Chains A and B, each alone.
Chain A
Amino acid sequence: MRDRIAGNASTALPGAMPFANLRGALIAMVLLLAILLPFAVKNFFVFQLTLAMVYAIAILGLNLLTGFNGQFSLGHSAFFAIGAYTAAIMMEHFAIAYYWTLPVAGVVCLIFGFLFGLPASRLEGIYLALATFSLAIATPQILKSTPLEGWTGGVQGIVIIKPDAPFALPLSSDQWLYYFTLAALVVLFACAANLLNSRTGRAIIAIRDNPIAARSMGIDIAFYKALTFGVSALYTGVAGALGAIVIQFVAPDSFTFVLAIGLFVGLVVGGVGSIAGTLFGGLFVLFVPNIAEQISKGLAGAVYGVILILVIYLMPSGAAGLLRLITKKLARALARQN
């Protein structure tokens, strides 16, 4: 069962790879680079990187559910939308500061996710995919629907004012939001790693690998599955809120099933079951469709599809899988030298 979902994704809990010290150094280096980057590049690029991070967080949410818990979801655009609209409504109708929208969006999505996850825990594989997909399809329609128009702004959506850097720091809005998002990302990623290393995390992973054994060890499968759904929704919801703030705009048609599929693609391309892989996934989701369009306006979709296929050929287990393969070969080469 595990192989069908995660391929050769690491069964080792995150952090248990060889070269643990090297890994820590690598993370520190990447973090340093990330902090210095906005001063070296144009504002628009900073904006794009911020969005890539937003997608990475959303994909991490999906990863918690699909990669680590084995539940398919093709409907995470719904939670992204809920998070985004929560933020927009809070800022627009209640004039609440942008930073409070993140935890609220998270909690709202946690609840929604858990509630959806309870009945969903009875469904498996393709049936669950279909159920979540219908959630994705329903979302734009519900957002546009007349009874909710007062809050959601209907088809027009809601416009948000971009926050400025606080304490009159010498940063542009784009740069400030970049750091804000980066901070959120670091916190969320650390929490995810902690969660997965904890008892709860082990239960979650056990359900993916062998549900029958898990149940016979006393793990309440339905509860944990619903819980994972909730946490996963929380992450994607927070990402949605961040996205709304960064893009300054929410509208129903930004949250169609195309987004859900995009997140799924990002998950696989980054590497199912890998936290770090979601960063690559986020970059992929943001930049590759643009690249495809630049290569050929009329055949953008076809080019995207071809790139996607090539990527899968080269990295069947995602970027994380490729990295794991390379480090294994390096490790063996070094071991042979000794």
Chain B
Amino acid sequence: MELFLHQVLAGLATGGIYACMALAIVMIYQAIDHLNFAQGEMAMFSTFIAWQLLQWGMPYWVAFFLTIAISFIAGVMIERIVFKPLKNAPVLSHLVVFIALFAILNSLAGFIWDFGIKSFPTPFGTRALFGQGLMSTHDAGMIAITLIMLVLLFIFFRYTRVGLAMRATAANPDSARLVGIRVGWMIALGWGMAAAIGAIAGMLIAPVVFLEPNMMLSILLYGFAAAVVGGLNSPFGAVVGGFGVGVIENLAGTFIPYLGRELKLTIALALIIAVLTVRPSGLFGRIAITRV
């Protein structure tokens, strides 16, 4: 029982990472109504930029906020330059462009900063809370920031005009135009915000998993799984999903002996698919009722 609780706690710690990533994913889904497969690579690239700024001697928090700003602008630019010309192309072609973006960012990062592992600092310190090896102050800080972002996003989408306009754009772009919403700007804004959140996620994750171009691969996958389990149109669900996935992954790794280590990722995903077959819109997703 003691072991179980410990693993749950440790799972929450890693879950914080997935929750953060899932939030960025849901963010862009709310803006453009499909998933951005290059999200992880964008976050990774942003983290490298932050690292470079720190190497050049900038103080942590200055680098932190500057990276967020740069990422926001980059997100907007990527949307305007790469995706806007494609708006009439079929969905599958969009997916391929996401894949291309993934390849470009990954390769570019490796080229500029090489594939060696680098360490990334944390502003929260790494003291252990609750005893050894379970949750550190950094983990707690990461969870705190994720929750703060969640609250801010909630307020943004529910209570501001721009948030409403963005939701409308994602839900029904044609109708959104008819009420005068500048759909193009909304989409670009969504990309910028997603890039910014991704940057925050990356900078919080890097101290734990160490900075290298491939750091986000499995995290992105867990993040997707978390977002999907939580319900793609629910930021709250994404965060819950993230913690859930972290706990499941940890418990599976500890308690399923034989295949545990090698197939942790697979098992986590399998469990998620199981959830989906029972609740296809995710745990907290709002089922969109369509009258035929």
Contact = CB atoms under 8 A, between A and B. Distances in A.
Interface of A: 3-9, 66, 119, 122-124, 126-127, 130-131, 133-134, 137-138, 141-142, 144-145, 212, 261, 264-265, 267-269, 272, 298-306, 308-309, 312-313, 316-318
A308 B96 contact: yes
For the complex of A and B, the 3 pairs showing the least CB-CB separation, nearest first, are: A301-B107, A7-B90, A134-B269
Contacts of B270: 134
A305 to B, nearest CB: 4
Interface of B: 34-35, 82, 85-86, 88-93, 95-97, 99-104, 106-108, 110-111, 221, 224-225, 228, 232, 259, 262-263, 265-266, 269-270, 272-273, 276-277, 280, 292
B228 to A, nearest CB: 6
Given A123-B280, A299-B108, A313 B91 contact: no
B96 A269 contact: yes
B273 A134 contact: yes
A303 B106 CA distance: 11
A133 B99 CA distance: 14
Given A126-B34, A302-B107, A305-B101, A138 B263 contact: yes
Overall SS of chain B's interface: helix
A303 B292 CA distance: 46
Contacts of B107: 299-305
Contact of B99 (A6, A9, A308): A308
B104 A302 contact: yes
Given A6-B90, A269-B96, A313-B85, A305 B276 contact: no
B93 A312 contact: yes
B93 A268 contact: yes
Given A4-B90, A6-B92, A301-B110, 17 more contacts: A7-B89, A8-B90, A66-B92, A123-B277, A126-B34, A137-B221, A142-B263, A264-B95, A272-B92, A299-B108, A301-B103, A304-B103, A305-B100, A306-B100, A306-B104, A308-B96, A316-B89
A272 B276 CA distance: 27
Given A4-B91, A313-B86, A268 B96 contact: yes
B87 to A, nearest CB: 10
Given A5-B91, A301-B106, A301-B107, A316 B86 contact: yes
A131 B97 contact: no
B292 A212 contact: yes
A299 B111 contact: yes
A330 B289 CA distance: 45
Contacts of B232: 126
Contacts of B104: 301-302, 305-306
A137 B97 contact: no
A316 B99 contact: no
25 contacts: A4-B90, A4-B91, A9-B90, A122-B280, A126-B35, A130-B273, A133-B221, A134-B266, A137-B221, A138-B263, A141-B263, A141-B266, A145-B259, A264-B99, A265-B96, A299-B111, A301-B106, A301-B107, A304-B107, A305-B99, A305-B101, A305-B104, A305-B107, A313-B85, A317-B90
Contacts of B93: 7, 268, 312, 316-318
A306 to B, nearest CB: 7
B147 to A, nearest CB: 25
A308 B38 CA distance: 14
A272 B277 contact: no
A301 B91 CA distance: 23
A299 B111 CA distance: 6
Contacts of A133: 221
B195 to A, nearest CB: 18
B222 to A, nearest CB: 11
